[in-house]
């Protein structure tokens, strides 16, 4: 990708639609420690494979309605009849493999909670509780990094599905583990003030937990 000109007051992609602007201004890059919110973002990222994030935001109410308002414990208990009901919803994204992956991921989500106490503790263990900042993002928008590679690989090892490194890079950005607001964006300073940070000059450098 080519160089991006610094925006005037906001990240350029947020200007494409009012939903994107609201998401950018209120959520994107805010450090998240609520497991239900983390499950919501994991669900949306898994559903977004091959689709746009704007479509995910437009389907958010549909996802909430069909997946128990992102209550992972309830979703983990879904049976075949529930999957069939979800697939029958005309507003739902009709990708049965993804719907089943959401249910499977909810079960793996519970496994992680049992091991770490919370999914948030697991997620933030990858950065020792800090938010990563990539200076390279200011010149060329990144879609993956060694961190997202490591996170994606560990999720897949644990049995999670539809959690490729590109999707998980987006997840880490969304949940504030990676802060990629451009320097000219009004949210840059606001979100960075919410957590201690670590500067990573080379996004491809082998990722070491807590470095």
Q: Is 45 a catalytic residue?
A: yes
Which one of the listed residues 8, 13, 22, 23 is annotated catalytic?
23
Q: Active site includes 53?
A: yes
For residue 58, report the phi and psi dihedrals to the nearest 5 degrees. -70, -30
Rg of the chain on CA atoms, in Å? 17
For residues 147 and 127, is the Cβ–Cβ distance under 8 A? yes
Give residue for tokens 């840059």.
188
Rounded distance between C-alpha atoms, residue 151 and residue 28, angstroms: 19
H-run or E-run covering 23: helix 18-26
Q: Which of 28, 53, 122, 134 is catalytic?
A: 53
DSSP result, 24-83 = HHHTTT-----HHHHHHHHHHHHHHTTS-HHHHHHTHHHHHHHTGGG-HHHHHT--HHHH
Considering the candidates 28, 45, 122, 134, report the single residue annotated as catalytic.
45
> What are the residue numbers of the active site?
23, 45, 53
């Amino acid at each position: 990708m080519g160089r991006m000109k610094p925006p005037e007051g906001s990240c350029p992609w947020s200007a494409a639609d009012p939903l994107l602007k609201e998401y950018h201004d209120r959520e994107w890059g805010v450090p998240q420690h609520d497991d239900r919110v983390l499950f919501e973002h994991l669900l949306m990222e898994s559903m977004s494979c091959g689709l746009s994030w704007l479509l995910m935001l437009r389907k958010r109410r549909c996802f909430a309605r069909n997946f128990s308002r992102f209550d992972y414990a309830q979703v983990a208990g879904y049976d075949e009849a529930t999957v069939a009901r979800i697939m029958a919803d005309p507003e739902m994204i009709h990708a049965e493999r993804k719907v089943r992956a959401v249910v499977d991921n909810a079960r793996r989500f519970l496994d992680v909670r049992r091991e770490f106490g919370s999914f948030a503790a697991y997620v933030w263990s990858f950065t020792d509780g800090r938010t990563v900042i990539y200076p390279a993002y200011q010149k060329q928008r990144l879609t993956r990094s060694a961190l997202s590679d490591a996170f994606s690989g560990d999720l897949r090892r644990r049995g999670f599905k539809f959690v490729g490194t590109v999707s998980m890079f987006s997840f880490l950005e969304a949940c504030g583990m990676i802060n990629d607001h451009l320097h000219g964006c009004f949210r840059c300073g606001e979100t960075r003030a919410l957590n201690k940070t670590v500067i990573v000059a080379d996004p491809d450098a082998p990722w070491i937990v807590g470095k």
